[in-house]
Amino acid sequence: MTPSCAAGVDVGRDFFDVGLAPSGRVFRTPNGAKGVEAVVTRLRREGVGRVVLESIGGYGARLVRSLAEAGFEVGVIDPKRIQALRIAEGKRAKTDRLDAALIARFALIMRDVARPVPSPKAFEIRALSTRRRQLVEMAAMEKVRLGQTLDEVVANSCRQIIAFLAEERAKVEALLQAELLTSQDGPQRSGLLQTIPGVGPAVSMTLMADLPELGTLDRKAIASLAGLAPHPNQSGTRTGQAHIGGGRPCVRAALYMAAVSAVRSDNGFKREYQALRRAGKPAKVALVAIARRIVVAANTMLKANRPWLKQT
């Protein structure tokens, strides 16, 4: 395998379209166990070192795991980056084959796209965390329908679904908690995180499941990964507002709710929040700033293996 030969995969429900660079060749295999095996075998034969896929859901999960186990450098990236390359090249035509070749050229050019692929256990934990969020969202929708219905028969149906979803959520949360605590440092990490004001069992589960990098990165990198780093908007003499974006939405949402709770406590971030408000920051902007402080504090705590201490 060599980094001078790269591949790009356009993932579909039924097929994988695989492009090779710099040769420009493209081939197709079915999206299934045999297709995954065929892709790995062909890429080994071609001497491919780096493989890039678009982050478009679960259709490519099996292929990502198999590629990582086979020793390839694997990158799963935002489709907007591929679209930006298409625009830069002045291309307008779009087919699965053309997309596969485009992703392969991207993989060859962008040498920083490969990221460590989670272990099989980490994939299981993230799947449970995703399922938990789905159940919460479905219950919220049913509660809205319950509040809008005027028919008692429909209302009873909504109540039954809400009760069922609550029961399923409890089961999934129990499984998720058990998986998180089976690791050697799981109980310790969970305990340390819950010393932070506003961080309870639900938020700590989200951080451990969906932000396992906590404690291993610097403060700027962890804030960016959580989607809480402000991105500057400046050109010439114009300086626009900086906005957060990217990162992992589920982590950002959990940290925002933690901030809402933390700013209500004198032992938490109430003083910092009030200072931001007195400085003229809107409430949501101030809460985002507190959420960023929470994730930075969590990162520092886990790195130093110590509980949260309120600064005086």
- Tokens in use for 131? 């399922």
For 99-225, strand residue ranges (E) read none
Q: Which residues of the chain have pLDDT under 50?
A: 312
- CA–CA distance, 199 with 86 (Å, rounded to integer): 42
Q: Are 123 and 65 in contact (CB under 8 A)?
A: yes
pLDDT at 171: 95
Count of helix runs (H) and strand runs (E) in the chain: 12, 7
pLDDT at 116: 65
- CA–CA distance, 298 with 145 (Å, rounded to integer): 37
> At 118, phi and psi to the nearest 5?
-55, 155
- CA–CA distance, 82 with 108 (Å, rounded to integer): 12
Mind listing the pLDDT tens digit for each residue in 272-295? 999 999 999 999 999 999 999 999
pLDDT at 294: 93
CATH superfamily of 2-109: ATPase, nucleotide binding domain (3.30.420.40)
pLDDT at 245: 74
- Sheet of 2-11: strand order equals 26-30, 15-21, 2-11, 48-54, 73-77
pLDDT at 118: 65
The pTM is what?
0.75
pLDDT at 146: 94
- Tokens in use for 259? 């901030």
pLDDT at 135: 95
pLDDT at 147: 93
